[in-house]
């Protein structure tokens, strides 16, 4: 790269393995749109996809499941010599695009390969600045560890909607000094400078439409993720969401509908999208208005081409406001699946989790969702501190009682994520301290251990399977149930 202090920087945005194989990475699609809007030269690259292709790693595991990050890492590491060669080729391809800054989006499962690729980039091209950002780059996650890692020059803290473009604009290719702007930890000559936090984006309506143009048309599952809100209206004790997105904000309904139109019109091959939002019903007024706008859009699409339609899915909280009337309208707006965070069938445990809903309301919501023609899903968590065998039986009872109204269930074992309320106040939740293992924690009274949780988890999954309810299905399975046909049925 020639030294020229006045040339604007060119940015490469990279998703290292192992990233979820079904859809292009949404974070990079948004950052790419920001850079495009700012007129900054850039490219995106899904190296998780390219490396899987180079190594011939299939997307599905032998049992037909879409491989998750751990499976993919294991498959990718299967043959270290081939992996080494493939990584060198991949890094060669990135550098051939002549970036001045290479930005990696780093979340759980991608840390190791992001660092490995960054190291190779620095070895081949020491002048290229490496910037890390994403969910693993918060003060409460690995930001500081990443900033002190050899190949990383700067770490973007949290939301980087404005700060990445500002960094790229201020960056002088060839200069030994890096911009020191709010929102970054910057490392120079082995010392990390903390430049403070950048403000969170308040008005999501001002965000550009996500830009998927740089990703290959082939190689994904024909749907995509869109984000219409950030944050959450609840503060569940096991969740770290608040660290990632500090407060709840939503786009307005017209803004969301405009982006959906834009994305579907650009991608006639797509019939489905998932909202990446933690919840679609954080603002029920917006959901209600959006449903009406999307029903109009569906009608327009069908008028133009009777064979075409679109559908969407989302996660949601259990809330009284999910009435039959609203759900009917949501269905008319194309919703095909809503996955609710129930977590437990015991009112006591739901309260301990700080989830703030009545289990009886959850039953009404499930039934109303199904009656509206929407596939209802549930998240269930086993072994929250305070859960007794009787409480667990209530969860099993809930599943049995409501089986005809449940389209899928995803299960998990309660762990103690760093930064969650469980982690901050272990005594309050009856955990044995000091906490030695976030997964294998036990209660102070010894009644809730990893073995107890695993055993309950096995029983729950056995029941779900026995009832014929799809267990932990990837979204693509839902799609495979012919969404267009299902959407026509309603």
Q: Which residues bind ligand B12 (CB under 6 A)?
A: 18-20, 23-27, 30-31, 68-69, 103-105, 107-110, 131, 133-136, 141, 156, 159-161, 164, 225, 227, 240-241, 244-245, 276, 278
Token duo for residue 447: 């009644």
Residue among 210 and 414 whose Cβ is closer to ligand SF4: 414
Q: Which does 53 bind (CB under 5 to 8 A by kind): ligand B12, ligand SF4, none?
A: none
* Per CB under 6 A, 316 contacts ligand SF4: no
Q: Which does 394 bind (CB under 5 to 8 A by kind): ligand SF4, ligand B12, none?
A: none
Window contacting ligand SF4 (CB under 6 A); options: 82-90, 100-108, 232-240, 258-266: 232-240
* Per CB under 6 A, 13 contacts ligand SF4: no
Q: Which does 161 bind (CB under 5 to 8 A by kind): ligand B12, ligand SF4, none?
A: ligand B12
Residue among 333 and 474 whose Cβ is closer to ligand B12: 474
* Per CB under 6 A, 142 contacts ligand SF4: no
Residue among 232 and 375 whose Cβ is closer to ligand SF4: 232
Residue selected from 278, 369, 395, 402 as contacting ligand SF4 according to rule CB under 6 A: 278
* Per CB under 6 A, 241 contacts ligand SF4: yes
Pairing of strands 249-250, 229-230: antiparallel
Q: Which does 156 bind (CB under 5 to 8 A by kind): ligand SF4, ligand B12, none?
A: ligand B12
Q: Which does 483 bind (CB under 5 to 8 A by kind): ligand SF4, ligand B12, none?
A: none
Rounded least distance, CB 242 to ligand SF4, Å: 7
Residue among 225 and 392 whose Cβ is closer to ligand B12: 225
Residue among 10 and 355 whose Cβ is closer to ligand SF4: 355
The residue count of the chain comes to 490
Is cis: bond before 434, omega within 30 of 0?
A: yes
Rounded least distance, CB 53 to ligand SF4, Å: 33
Residue among 131 and 372 whose Cβ is closer to ligand B12: 131
Quickly tell me which residue has 């309301």 as its tokens: 361
> CA-based Rg of the chain, rounded to a whole angstrom?
23
Give Dmax over CA atoms of the chain in angstroms.
70
Query: How many residues sit close enough to ligand SF4 to count as binding (CB under 6 A)?
Result: 10
Q: Which of 131, 194, 125 is nearest to 160 (CA)?
A: 131
Rounded least distance, CB 104 to ligand B12, Å: 6
* Per CB under 6 A, 235 contacts ligand SF4: yes
Residue among 279 and 372 whose Cβ is closer to ligand B12: 279
* Per CB under 6 A, 232 contacts ligand SF4: yes
Pairing of strands 311-316, 272-275: parallel
* Per CB under 6 A, 281 contacts ligand SF4: no
Q: Cβ-count burial of 370 within 10 angstroms (0-12 exposed, 13-18 middle, 19+ buried)?
A: middle
Q: Which does 152 bind (CB under 5 to 8 A by kind): ligand SF4, ligand B12, none?
A: none
DSSP letter string, 157-187:
-S--TTHHHHHHHH--TT-SSPP--TTEEEE
Q: Distance between CA atoms of 66 and 48, rounded to whole angstroms?
A: 14
Q: Which residue is nearest to ligand B12 (CB)?
A: 133
- Contact predicate 443/431, CB 8 Å: yes
Please report how many Cα atoms fall inside a 13 Å half-sphere around the Cα of residue 144, on the Cβ side: 5
Q: Which of 157, 127, 129, 130 is nearest to 142 (CA)?
A: 157
Residue among 185 and 226 whose Cβ is closer to ligand SF4: 226
Residue among 9 and 69 whose Cβ is closer to ligand B12: 69
Residue among 106 and 322 whose Cβ is closer to ligand B12: 106
Question: Could you count the other beta carbons within 10 Å of the beta carbon of residue 441?
Answer: 24
Rounded least distance, CB 3 to ligand B12, Å: 24
- Contact predicate 347/358, CB 8 Å: yes
Question: Could you count the other beta carbons within 10 Å of the beta carbon of residue 196?
Answer: 12
| Cα→Cα distances 233→161, 246, 253, 455, 482, Å | 22, 10, 18, 32, 33
Rounded least distance, CB 138 to ligand SF4, Å: 15
- Contact predicate 168/35, CB 8 Å: yes
Residue selected from 42, 54, 59, 234 as contacting ligand SF4 according to rule CB under 6 A: 234
Rounded least distance, CB 377 to ligand SF4, Å: 14
Rounded least distance, CB 436 to ligand SF4, Å: 25
| Cα→Cα distances 355→33, 318, 429, 431, 456, Å | 35, 9, 15, 19, 21
* Per CB under 6 A, 317 contacts ligand SF4: yes
* Per CB under 6 A, 395 contacts ligand SF4: no
Please report how many Cα atoms fall inside a 13 Å half-sphere around the Cα of residue 483, on the Cβ side: 26
Q: Distance between CA atoms of 161 and 30, rounded to whole angstroms?
A: 8
Q: Cβ-count burial of 155 within 10 angstroms (0-12 exposed, 13-18 middle, 19+ buried)?
A: buried
* Per CB under 6 A, 341 contacts ligand SF4: yes
Q: Which does 420 bind (CB under 5 to 8 A by kind): ligand B12, ligand SF4, none?
A: none
Q: Which residues bind ligand SF4 (CB under 6 A)?
A: 232, 234-236, 239, 241, 278-279, 317, 341
């Amino acid at each position: 790269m020639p030294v020229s202090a006045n040339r604007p920087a060119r940015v490469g945005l990279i998703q290292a393995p192992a990233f979820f194989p079904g859809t292009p990475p949404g974070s990079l699609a948004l950052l790419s749109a920001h850079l495009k809007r700012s007129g900054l030269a850039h490219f995106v690259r899904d190296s998780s996809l390219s490396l899987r292709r180079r190594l011939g790693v299939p997307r599905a595991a032998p049992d037909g499941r879409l491989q998750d990050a751990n499976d993919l890492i294991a498959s990718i590491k299967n043959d270290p010599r081939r992996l080494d060669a493939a990584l060198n080729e991949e890094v060669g391809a990135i550098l051939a695009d002549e970036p001045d800054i290479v930005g990696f989006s780093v979340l759980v499962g991608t840390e190791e390969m992001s660092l490995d690729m960054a190291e190779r980039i620095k070895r081949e091209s020491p002048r290229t600045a490496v910037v890390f950002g994403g969910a693993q780059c918060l003060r409460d996650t690995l930001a500081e560890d990443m900033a002190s890692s050899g190949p990383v020059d700067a770490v973007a803290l949290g939301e980087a909607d404005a700060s990445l473009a500002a960094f790229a604009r201020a960056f002088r290719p060839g200069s030994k000094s890096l911009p020191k702007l709010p929102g970054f930890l910057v490392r120079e000559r082995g010392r990390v400078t903390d430049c403070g936090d950048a403000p969170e984006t308040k008005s999501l309506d001002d965000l550009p439409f996500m830009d998927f143009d740089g990703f290959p048309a082939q190689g994904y599952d024909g749907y995509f993720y869109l984000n219409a809100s950030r944050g959450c209206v609840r503060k569940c004790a096991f969740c770290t969401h608040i660290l990632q997105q500090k407060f709840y904000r939503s786009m307005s309904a017209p803004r969301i509908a405009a982006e959906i139109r834009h994305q579907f019109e650009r991608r006639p091959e797509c019939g489905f999208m998932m909202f990446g939002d933690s919840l679609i019903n954080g603002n029920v007024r917006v959901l209600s208005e959006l449903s009406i706008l999307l029903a109009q859009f569906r009608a327009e699409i069908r008028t133009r081409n009777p064979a075409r339609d679109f559908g969407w899915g989302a996660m949601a909280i259990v809330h009284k406001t999910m009435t039959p009337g609203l759900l009917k309208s949501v269905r008319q707006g194309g919703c095909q699946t809503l996955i609710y965070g129930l977590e437990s069938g015991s009112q006591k445990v739901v309260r301990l989790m700080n989830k703030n809903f009545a289990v009886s309301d959850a039953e009404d919501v499930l039934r109303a969702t199904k009656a509206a023609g929407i596939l209802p899903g549930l998240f269930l968590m086993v072994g929250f501190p305070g859960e007794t065998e009787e409480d667990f039986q209530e969860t099993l009872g809930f599943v049995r009682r409501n089986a005809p109204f449940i389209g899928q269930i995803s299960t998990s074992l309660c762990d103690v994520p760093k930064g969650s309320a469980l982690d901050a106040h272990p005594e309050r939740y009856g955990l044995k301290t000091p906490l030695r293992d976030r997964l294998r924690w036990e209660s102070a009274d010894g009644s809730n251990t990893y073995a107890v949780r695993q055993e309950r988890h096995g029983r729950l999954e056995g029941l779900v399977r026995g009832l014929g309810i799809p267990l932990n299905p990837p979204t693509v399975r839902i799609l495979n149930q012919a969404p267009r046909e299902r959407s026509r049925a309603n």
